[in-house]
Amino acid sequence: MSTLILNGRTVAIAPRPGQCLRTLLRELGAFGVKRGCDVGDCGACTVLVDGTPVHSCITPAFRAEGRSVTTIEGLAEGDRLHPVQQAFLDAQGFQCGYCTAGAILTVSSLNQAQRQDLPAALKGNLCRCTGYRAIADAVAGTTHAERGLAGEACGHSHPAPAGPAIVTGQARYTLDVDVPGLTHLKLVRSPHPHACIRSIDTSAALAVPGVIAVLTHLDAPATLYSSGRHEIAADDVDDTRILDTVVRHVGQRVAAVVAETVAAAEAGCRAVAVDYELLPAVLDPEAARAPGAPLVHGDKGPESRIFDPARNVVAHLAGEVGDVAAGFAAADVIHEETVRTQRLQHAHLETHCAIGWRDADGRLVLRSSTQVPFLTRDALAGVLGLPRDQVRVFAGQVGGGFGGKQEMLVEDIVGLAVLKTGRPVQLELTRAEQFAATTSRHPMRVRVKLGATADGTLTAFEMEVLSDTGAYGNHAVGTLFHGCNESVQVYRCPNKKVTGEAVYTHTLPSGAFRGYGLSQTIFAIESAMDELARKLGLDPFALRRRNVIRPGDPMVAHSLHAHDIEYGSYGLDQCLDLVEQALSEPGEPPPDGPQWRVGRSGGWAGAWHWP
Amino acid sequence: MDLNTVSALHRPRTRDEIGPWQAGDAWLAGGTVLFADPNPGLSRLIDLTALGWPALALTPDGLDIAATCTLAELEEPLLPPGARIAGLFPACCAALYGAFKVRTAATIGGNLCTALAAAPMAALIVALDARLTLWPAAGGSRQVAAADFILGLQRTVLAPGELLRSILVPACNMDLRWAFRRIALNDLGRSAALLIGTLAADGRFALTVTASTPRPLRLDFPALPDTAALLAALDAAIPADGWYDDVHGAPAWRRAMTQLFAQQIRSELAEGGPA
Ligand SMILES: Cc1cc2nc3c(=O)[nH]c(=O)nc-3n(C[C@H](O)[C@H](O)[C@H](O)COP(=O)(O)OP(=O)(O)OC[C@H]3O[C@@H](n4cnc5c(N)ncnc54)[C@H](O)[C@@H]3O)c2cc1C
Ligand code: FES
Ligand code: FES
């Protein structure tokens, strides 16, 4: 036993030989110390050791022996906030707040020179929500929050109710609770893109001291579901099992080990022996539709609602209004191009995580980092075969989601583990698991072909989309639909044709991601509009002004079918004016020298939203 | 992260207390690599900082840097007043992708022994033609030239159980003129090419290339070469497939930047004439 001084109080510690300071401090109750990456990159775990900021995840715990450690909980003096805490409140220098403790502690240690060069001083503090502007405002002492406006709230900048809790480290994110008897779950994941599981030998894992249970497909219900969550569950395809007999991407879970400690769960995972029968895999979305391609969900029937399992097509869309061929025939200029967009991870700083237990009434309770607690509750009840009122899912403060948490990626296995063991179970994905085994933005290939008369009036608009949903179809349908909808509706053109397919491949599943399919198609369409303007010799803004819908125009994508969405007010013209004006104002001058070119471009992006 | 397979921590205060090397052992310096990389093969950490080596000492032989000297300590090195190379130290420390909070823990020894392509300490010591003292497991010590220490990506001359004790920047190199160029995909990101040129009082020129190649490369010239000779020497030393390739930069771009920087460094040093 040794001691350290934690926020002014001497506490006894017994760090494990390989323990990092981050987990030691959390075990001491300092839940304000966050974990974003656990590899020294993000700064969410920043604490002050004898006044010097360090990343506690890469600091050996024993090095804090005899030192004074300040966490966010110890920065204020009683009720008086530290000036940096107050500055973050005044500027509202946070959104989800998960990065905020680390940012405040880091800023509190900066000297004047460092404050003058924030990109360098704060490069070890990642924030996925604010875009850093709000943080820079906090450092600069800018006040955005307005107070005391009872009765005239509208149009004012109100501070987030959670603000005081966030800047003092009192906000409780998903895992910031002390649950007596908590056990830990770790996952065995597939090293193969496509394989059939012949057998799993769990005996060695069960013999590891501290291991309580090992779950495999033998323990999992046969029920198929979608990890993507919508109010109407049938919007998504049912192609996923909690633990399956077939693995369809590298990183898919194969078994779950529940143990008294994370260390024992990890050791248990290493001891699980899986016998795989390797199967051919298709990794390329173009190849996936070709005859003879390995099928990802060839075993699924119509009840899964997959569009065509025999061609790896999970979702399909096609429609034409007017006569596109005639429209191109009438065009003076035609522009056609194809763009490809890449996979992207949301990288919310709080990884997917949940704690599950049974409450006093025997109900299954999950405290989860989710954007959709109620939809997850409904799904869990269905998958685990429980009445809806026997399941409760709730969220604490959520450390970012960006769509990635409109997904049931941990609650199902945690719920199953609680039912099997009767113990409270926690699963916290690592950053590496986030990248390798959660969802990403759908990679897409988008071909756009536009025709216009010499004055810039669109005569034909054609788009063809191929979306790669990866191994599972969560959100494949919705992102394809949206991607092919609002992006097209914004332009008036009598002749439009859109075709789109989302295909399975043996790769990481895609999922909901900020923009929901639109970012990819809008990038393609707006790029094509710019090129069309260039070919026509028109200003890109003029081309858009000529063709965007105006008040009273219907919103038409690829069918005349009436939608239940209308626009209540119209500001597109003002948006174009404002952007054009902002672009024409003097900005940062280009560097000296003839080798620098200056580009200027504009674009539009938007989406349907309703309360 | 927690290194959950590690079950023992050894904190020797003297070389004698280090004891025999065992499978699963790792020398622990700052820990910014060890604690950032899951490695279930580890079972024991041997804490080098317990040995209490003074970080920096200026001796008649030169600047003696302990392997456990942190990058933060190295930013303000203990050099003779007015030593020309003083500015090269903070430039190389700032070239670490890790922020200042990482630099307070990261050590020069850990940086060299990890031997990443983008190891800024490798650039520093190779450019300054430093000499490394190693402690073999069997006892005694041996010396290697900085340019010979790193064999390839994450490979060094260290034998199992051998450690890096110190780095000596020779007194005769304190007044080298130098020029520094670096680029990364993001201005503050991980180096994709980091080059240092040095010019000695007697006119000898050396070009050190790191980050764009898997291991540091040093080209020595009796005098400042002309551009064509410099580029030809680069071409001869680095085969077409010898450029480093990872997410931090495409090989062709690294090659182009290396060639550009080599020329810029040559011009910069040519302008002042020999020191
Ligand atoms: C955010 C971040 C950014 C980083 N950016 C970079 C970068 O741009 N470039 C780069 O090269 N590195 C980078 N690193 C890696 C690392 O921080 C540095 O390489 C650092 O200098 C390693 O030193 P350390 O003392 O922390 O090493 P440790 O983690 O203590 O040790 C690293 C390795 O070296 C061995 N070792 C350490 N000292 C000795 C010794 N004296 N003798 C023998 N073996 C020894 C250890 O056993 C271990 O295998 C980064 C790390 C982080 C967290
Ligand atoms: S830097 Fe420690 S959790 Fe990211
Ligand atoms: S507020 Fe910074 S990550 Fe959410």
Strands (E), A97-252: 183-189, 195-201, 211-215, 246-247
Helices A572-584, A540-547: axis angle to 10 degrees equals 170
Query: Residue B273: what pLDDT?
Result: 53
How far apart CA A584 and CA B163 sit, in angstroms, is 60
Residue whose token pair is 């949940």? A354
Question: A183-278 with A353-433: one CATH topology?
Answer: no
What integer pLDDT is reported at residue A267 of this predicted model? 98
Residue B99 lies in a domain: yes
Distance of CA A29 to the CA centre of its chain: 28
Alpha helices in A122-162 (DSSP H): 133-140
Q: What percent of chain B has pLDDT over 90?
A: 97
Q: What is the ipTM of this complex?
A: 0.96
Per-residue pLDDT, B275: 46
DSSP annotation of A304:
G
Among all bound ligands, the one having the nearest atom to the CA of A93 is 3
Query: Which whole number is the average pLDDT over B137-164?
Result: 98
Say if A602 is an interface residue toward chain B (CB within 8 Å): no
Report yes or no: B166 and B53 within 8 Å, Cβ to Cβ: yes
- What whole-number distance in Å separates Cα of residue A323 and Cα of residue A300? 37
CA A31 to ligand 1 centroid distance, Å:
28
Is B275 within a domain? no
What's the CA gap between A412 and A384, in Å, rounded? 8
- Domain assignment of residue B220, yes or no: yes
Fold classified for A286-342+440-545: Aldehyde Oxidoreductase; domain 4 (3.30.365)
Pocket test of ligand 3: the residue of A137, A349, A369 to mutate, having most ligand atoms within 8 Å of its CB, is A349
B45 to chain A nearest CA, in Å?
8
- Residue to substitute in A24, A41, A125 for testing ligand 2 pocket (most ligand atoms within 8 angstroms of CB): A41
For residues B137-152, give the mean pLDDT.
98
State which residue of chain B sits closest to A41, comparing Cα positions: B98
pLDDT higher than 70, residue B127:
yes
Question: What CATH number should be reported for the domain holding residue B110?
Answer: 3.30.465.10
Token pair recorded at residue A222: 């046969």
- Ligand 3 close to Cβ of residue A143 (< 6 A): no
Q: Which helix (H) or strand (E) holds A412?
A: helix A411-421
User: In chain B, which residues have their Cβ closer than 8 Å to the Cβ of A120?
Assistant: 94, 99-100, 188
Listed residue (A359, A336, A287, A328) closest to A459, CA to CA? A328
Q: Is the CB of B36 under 6 A from ligand 1?
A: yes
Residues A58, B28: C-beta atoms closer than 8 Å: no
Let me know whether B72 and B136 are in one domain. Answer: yes
Measure CA of the first residue to CA of the last residue in chain A; give whole Å.
Answer: 56
The answer on B160 and B63 residing in a single domain is yes
pTM of the model: 0.95
> What six digits make up the tokens of A433?
């698991």
**Range 51-70 of A in CB contact (< 8 A) with B:** 52-55, 57-60, 62-63
Q: What is the pLDDT of residue A609?
A: 77
The CA B167 to ligand 1 mean position distance, Å, reads: 16
In the block, residue with structure tokens 């604010």: A130
Atom of ligand 1 at shortest range from CA of B35: 29
What CATH fold (topology level) applies to the domain A183-278?
Aldehyde Oxidoreductase; domain 3 (3.90.1170)
Q: Examine residue B104 and state whether it is found in any structural domain, yes or no.
A: yes
B24 and B67 co-located in one domain: no
Q: What are phi and psi of B202, to 5 degrees?
A: -85, 10
Same domain, B221 and B255: yes
The 8-class DSSP code of residue A9 comes to: E
A584, amino acid identity: S
Q: Is the CB of A99 under 6 A from ligand 3?
A: yes
* Spatial distance between the Cα atoms of A481 and A478, rounded to a whole number of angstroms: 5
**Nearest protein Cα to ligand 3, atom 2:** A127
Phi and psi for B89 in degrees, rounded to 5?
-65, -55
What is the residue-wise DSSP string for A547-597? HB--TT----SS--PPPS---SS--HHHHHHHHHHHHHS--SPPPSSTT--
Considering the domain architecture, whether residues B37 and B134 belong to the same structural domain is answered as: no
| Residue A424: CB atoms within 10 Å | 19
> Residue A410: which of A347, A362, A366 has the closest Cα?
A366
Taking the C-alpha atoms of residue A248 and residue A282, their distance in angstroms, rounded to an integer, is 10
Domain range for residue B117? Answer: 54-171
Measured CA to CA, the distance from residue B176 to residue B170 in angstroms comes to 11
**Are B101 and A58 a contacting pair at CB < 8 A?**
no
Q: How far is A309 from chain B (nearest CA, A)?
A: 35
The answer for A 431-490 residues in CB contact with B (under 8 A) is 432
Together in a domain, B92 and B189: no
- Alpha carbons B30 and B109: distance in angstroms, whole number: 9
Amino acid identity of residue A455, one-letter, is D
A283 in Cβ contact with A506 (< 8 Å): yes
Answer yes or no: do B145 and B165 share one domain.
yes
B166 and B58 in a common domain = yes
| Run of H or E residues at A115 | helix A112-116
B2 inside domain: no
* Ligand closest to CA B99: 1
Buried b (16+ CB within 10 A) or exposed e, B200-234: beeeebbbbbbbbbbbbbbbebeebbeeeebbebb
User: Which stretches of chain A drop beneath a pLDDT of 70?
Assistant: 148-149, 611
Closest CA to B274 of B183, B177, B203, B172: B203
Question: Is B84 a member of any domain?
Answer: yes
Which pLDDT does position B110 carry in this prediction? 98
pLDDT higher than threshold 60 for residue B79: yes
H-helix segments, A215-367: 262-271, 285-288, 324-329
Residues B74 and B167 in one domain: yes
Reported residue count of chain B is 275
Exposed/middle/buried for A77, CB within 10 Å: 0-12, 13-18, 19+? Answer: exposed
**Distance of alpha carbon A398 from its chain centroid, rounded?**
12
Residues B59 and B162 in one domain: yes
Query: Using a 6 Å cutoff on CB, does residue A94 contact ligand 3?
Result: yes
Query: How many domains is chain B partitioned into structurally?
Result: 3
Q: Are strands A52-55 and A211-215 parallel, antiparallel or unpaired?
A: unpaired
Residues 6+ apart with CB under 8 A from B48: B27, B28, B29, B67, B68, B109, B163
Within a domain: B3: no
Average pLDDT over residues B247-270: 97
> Domain extents for chain A?
1-147+160-172, 183-278, 286-342+440-545, 353-433
Ligand 2 centroid distance, CA of A38 (Å): 4
User: Which class would CATH give A353-433?
Assistant: alpha beta
Is the CB of B46 within 6 Å of ligand 1?
no
> What interhelical angle do A83-91 and A133-140 show, nearest 10?
130
- Closest ligand to the CA of A347: 3
Which of B7, B35, B49, B264 best tests the A interface by mutation, with the highest count of A CBs <10 A?
Answer: B35
- Cβ of B166 less than 6 Å from ligand 1: no
Contacts of A314 (CB under 8 A, 6+ apart): A237, A239, A297, A306, A307, A469, A473, A476, A477, A502, A503, A504
Domain A1-147+160-172 has CATH 3.40.1000.10: no
Question: Ligand 2 pocket, A42 CB below 6 A?
Answer: yes
- What CATH number is attached to the domain comprising B249? 3.30.390.50
Residue B113 shares a structural domain with residue B95: yes
A18 vs B2, B36, B94: nearest CB:
B2
Strand partners of residue B218: B208
**Closest CA relative to residue A429, chosen from A421, A439, A416:** A439
